[in-house]
Chain A
Amino acid sequence: GAVVSQHPSWVICKSGTSVKIECRSLDFQATTMFWYRQFPKQSLMLMATSNEGSKATYEQGVEKDKFLINHASLTLSTLTVTSAHPEDSSFYICSASRGEGRTEAFFGQGTRLTVV
């Protein structure tokens, strides 16, 4: 149990276009989902926290108008990178928690974004 699936696993897009990444909790309801970005040889950097039905909370320095997060249901959150630029190329990872006192978070397999 506790499977989190991300789609796509990798994507290449042109500069100026937008890309949407989906994060689904397959066998549990995720009250809270987290989005991270990871550059090569570095740790995960938290971008934002989203709770179902409410606006995401972004970490300092993360542009909310560039990284649009929608958590419309208890099993799906999406991250849209708008007007992507080469510096947005990174590994994006989501995680999901059941909340309500449950203390584990489970991670998706990640999405490799390359902007050319």
Chain B
Amino acid sequence: LAKTTQPISMDSYEGQEVNITCSHNNIATNDYITWYQQFPSQGPRFIIQGYKTKVTNEVASLFIPADRKSSTLSLPRVSLSDTAVYYCLVGDIGYGQNFVFGPGTRLSVLP
């Protein structure tokens, strides 16, 4: 399973765009990149998933360069409620692989 590296923590202010980059140098051909958000005492919530290029949904965008060795989660105009831990996972659970969580990025949004 590909190992991921993310910043341990980030601070931002309300209304700003936040970009969290994840490195996954050993990503395999079949691996997808998935981001989750977790609030204290809750299970992780799926944010976005991609394989290559750019994916956008109603809450975030995911940018993946051509070599797929990294990815960037972009949160537009964050609010206080976006304060959480964000996890980047790489794998192919559709075929039996499990999801192994790294330490994640603790995002603090300040007023």
Residues of A within 8 A of B (CB): 2, 4, 6, 32, 34, 36, 42-46, 49, 51, 91, 93-95, 97-110, 112
Given A109-B43, A110-B41, the answer on whether A99 and B94 have CB atoms closer than 8 Å is: yes
- Kindly count the residue-residue contacts between A and B in the assembled complex, taking CB atoms under 8 Å apart: 70
Given A97-B93, A103-B49, A104-B34, the answer on whether A46 and B43 have CB atoms closer than 8 Å is: no
Decide: A44 and B94 in contact? CB cutoff 8 A: no
Decide: A105 and B42 in contact? CB cutoff 8 A: no
**Interchain CA distance A104-B98 in the complex, whole Å:** 11
The 10 closest A-B pairs by CB, nearest first: A107-B43, A44-B101, A101-B94, A103-B32, A103-B94, A43-B101, A110-B43, A107-B44, A93-B43, A49-B98
Decide: A97 and B94 in contact? CB cutoff 8 A: yes
Taking the nearest CB of chain A, how far is it from the CB of B92, in angstroms? 7
User: Is the contact region of chain B dominated by helix, strand, or loop, or is it mixed?
Assistant: loop
Closest to A100 in B: B94
Q: Does any Cβ of A come within 8 Å of B13's Cβ?
A: no
Contacts of B99 in A (CB 8 A): 34, 46, 95, 105
Taking the nearest CB of chain B, how far is it from the CB of A82, in angstroms? 23
Given A103-B94, A107-B43, output 14 extra A-B contacts at Cβ < 8 Å: A32-B93, A43-B102, A44-B44, A44-B87, A45-B101, A97-B93, A97-B94, A100-B94, A101-B94, A103-B34, A103-B92, A109-B43, A110-B42, A112-B41
Interface size on B, residues (CB 8 A): 23
Q: Which among A6, A98, A102, A104 is the interface contact of B43 at CB below 8 angstroms?
A: A6
Residues 64-110 of B contacting A (Cβ, < 8 Å): 87, 92-96, 98-104
Decide: A46 and B101 in contact? CB cutoff 8 A: yes
Contacts of B95 in A (CB 8 A): 99, 101
Decide: B104 and A102 in contact? CB cutoff 8 A: no
**Interchain CA distance A81-B73 in the complex, whole Å:** 36
**Interchain CA distance A45-B45 in the complex, whole Å:** 16
A-B contact pairs, 15 of them (CB 8 A): A32-B96, A44-B44, A94-B43, A95-B43, A97-B94, A101-B94, A102-B94, A103-B32, A103-B34, A103-B92, A103-B94, A107-B36, A107-B45, A110-B41, A112-B41
